[in-house]
Structure 1
Amino acid sequence: MIVIEGISKIAFEEGTLSELELAIYQKKQNSPFMYRYDSVFTLLFELYMRTQIVESSSLLSKSGVYFADFKNTLCNQTYWTITDQGKFQLKSDVAPQDAIRDIFTNGTSYGFECSMAVVVVLYKAILESIDPRHFDILFSDLLLFNWHSNSNLRLIDRTIHEESVMGDVLYFENPEYDPMIPWGKGENVVMMGKGLFYGHGYGLGIATSKEVITVLNKHRIPGSTISAYLADRYVHPDFSYYALFQNTGRKKPLIAKIGEWIYVRNN
């Protein structure tokens, strides 16, 4: 259930939400768990940014970026310096927004593994959701690796994957992976909707959970008996935090509170 300022009855005029935004809203509204928002605008920002995560995943899957382990990462050195650990450090004379966009426009100049791919997707979605000037300030010392190395990327952990919705980042665990193939340990994916996920590893692209598990199971130790599976833990950006920096140029809807209802319509 979604609750805004103590009100759970919310009516959106037809056309106020996109098809994907409406699907996300309906799943959260029909959930037995309570999702609290301080305003309609914060909810709308989350719905919009989630669509940007899905869109950025789709764009990265078509960008030509290669799959590579940390020892063999590639980047456009006009924008980035590769560290000894395979991390991408933003060059001091480069705007963060330009460096992120370059990955999507010059994908064949890049190669990285699945956790970095997810981080790239999240940064692109943030960039498309907030004022680009704020993006450059927030991420002036941008470092791309996995999310554990990105302290300026605010993420929230969740533990019940049945509650996940489009735009969440999930993980397929492979408990008996072959240690000679360390990237076979698992796969970070973005939930795309309609039973599909975006995974960069192994060149998966947009795939079903069955397809992800089938690929991971090919990289288990001989004689293994435990299949790869979708783990309970998942993460998503701190939408409420990034909503503070949203692009003021976006058109705001009209909102009316009448009795126990909140009504939202296009302006």
Structure 2
Amino acid sequence: MIQISGVPFQPNENWKLESIERAIIQHMLNAPILYSFYSEDEFWFEIKVRKNITKSANEMNQSQAQFTTFEYARCNPNYWQLTMEGGFLLRPDVQPADAILDIYRNSSLYAFECATAAVIIYYHATLYSIGSYLFNSLFQNLYLYSWHTDPDLGIITFYSNHFLPGDVVYINNPDFHPDTPWFRGLNAVLLNDGNFFGHGFSIRTMEQIIQILNEYRKPGSQQTAYLTNLVTRPSFNYLGSLVSQQTSRRAYKMQYPIVHHNKCSISYVHYLYYLSNGINKKDK
């Protein structure tokens, strides 16, 4: 269900919408929960960002960027500095938009794990949603590592039994084999056709993803991998407010601390646990 300014939303068949946009709107209309928006601008901005998230996920799927652990992460040194922990730090002489676009344009030079991939997809989609000028103003000093993000991306996470195209869901593999800890789970983007993109898994159905994860469990495990009800997404309302106000870079912005945990393929909730407890751990 969709409500805008307190009035039930009525789609117009004469609107010239892309198939992705129609799919997102239909998912909202069919949802057992109410999606409420203050204005049409707020509504259409969320549709645009969700559309761009699915497009960015499809583009990453078609790219040559590889899945790897933090230890073997790679990036283009013309745009990023590779840190000892396997993160990508924006070079001071490079514009943020150019660096994000290079991940897609020169994808063969890059390798990263799936949480980092989800964040890259968010940034790429946001860039195409708000334009390079505002993106460069807001996202100075980018650092790509796991779920670490700039506060202005406004990442939120919550539990729900309903997902929309553009949401990132988490598939948990509780009995992952200790020799392959990167198969502890997968962060995957729900696409408009009901399939999922997970970096390192390409585009697959949920059943196919679970089947692959189950192949990397402890010997004798009876616990299957499963789709959790965790949903992670950017704050569309907050990003939209920055666009409507054309808010440029602030004189001071509190940055989130960085937790170098070295655990690939963790959920955002898992990362928040490390963040709140100040934990820096190494896989054994």
- TM-score interval w.r.t. the shorter chain? 0.7 to 0.9
Preserved CA contact (<8 Å) 2:116 2:146: yes
Preserved CA contact (<8 Å) 1:81 1:89: yes
Which residue number in structure 2 is paired with residue 102 of structure 1?
A: 102
Report the AA paired with residue 57 of structure 1: A
Question: Cα gap change, 1:152/1:181 in structure 2, threshold over 3 Å: closer, same or farther?
Answer: farther
Preserved CA contact (<8 Å) 2:194 2:205: yes
Preserved CA contact (<8 Å) 1:57 1:198: yes
Preserved CA contact (<8 Å) 2:113 2:146: no
Which residue number in structure 2 is paired with residue 23 of structure 1?
A: 23
Which residue number in structure 1 is paired with residue 276 of structure 2?
A: none
1:53-68 superposed matches below 5 A: 53-68=53-68
Q: Verify: 1:187 aligned to 2:151, yes or no.
A: no
Q: Verify: 1:232 aligned to 2:219, yes or no.
A: no
Which residue number in structure 2 is paired with residue 223 of structure 1?
A: 220
**94-103 or 18-27: bigger deviation:** 18-27
2:149 and 2:212 map into 1 onto residues whose CA distance is 27
TM-score by length of 2: 0.82
Deviation at 1:168, TM superposition (A): 0.4
Q: Which has the higher strand share?
A: 1
Q: Verify: 1:207 aligned to 2:204, yes or no.
A: yes
Deviation at 1:109, TM superposition (A): 0.3
Preserved CA contact (<8 Å) 1:130 1:245: no
Question: Cα gap change, 1:150/1:86 in structure 2, threshold over 3 Å: closer, same or farther?
Answer: farther
Deviation at 1:152, TM superposition (A): 4.1
Which residue number in structure 2 is paired with residue 158 of structure 1?
A: 158
Q: How many residues align?
A: 245
1:222 and 1:82 map into 2 onto residues whose CA distance is 36
Question: Cα gap change, 1:107/1:247 in structure 2, threshold over 3 Å: closer, same or farther?
Answer: farther
Preserved CA contact (<8 Å) 1:129 1:247: no
Deviation at 1:217, TM superposition (A): 0.8
Preserved CA contact (<8 Å) 1:25 1:47: yes
- Measured against aligned partners, the alpha-carbon deviations of 1:129-157 in whole angstroms (never above 9, x if no partner) come to 00311101111011111224554431122
SS of the aligned residue for 2:213 comes to helix
Question: Cα gap change, 1:47/1:75 in structure 2, threshold over 3 Å: closer, same or farther?
Answer: same
1:160 and 1:135 map into 2 onto residues whose CA distance is 30
The percent identity for this pair of structures is: 37
SS of the aligned residue for 1:3 comes to strand
Which residue number in structure 2 is paired with residue 197 of structure 1?
A: 196
Deviation at 1:170, TM superposition (A): 0.5
Preserved CA contact (<8 Å) 2:177 2:216: yes
Report the AA paired with residue 145 of structure 1: Y
Preserved CA contact (<8 Å) 2:119 2:149: no
Report the AA paired with residue 195 of structure 1: G
1:40-55 superposed matches below 5 A: 40-55=40-55
1:32-181 superposed matches below 5 A: 32-148=32-148, 150-161=150-161, 163-181=162-180
Deviation at 1:13, TM superposition (A): 4.0
SS of the aligned residue for 1:227 comes to coil
Deviation at 1:34, TM superposition (A): 1.6
- Measured against aligned partners, the alpha-carbon deviations of 1:59-78 in whole angstroms (never above 9, x if no partner) come to 11111001110000000000
SS of the aligned residue for 2:153 comes to coil
Give the gaps of 5 or more residues in structure 1.
249-267
- Measured against aligned partners, the alpha-carbon deviations of 1:182-203 in whole angstroms (never above 9, x if no partner) come to 10100110001323100113xx
Q: CA RMSD in A?
A: 1.6
Question: Cα gap change, 1:207/1:160 in structure 2, threshold over 3 Å: closer, same or farther?
Answer: same
Give the gaps of 5 or more residues in structure 2.
246-284
Deviation at 1:11, TM superposition (A): 3.3
**115-124 or 31-40: bigger deviation:** 31-40
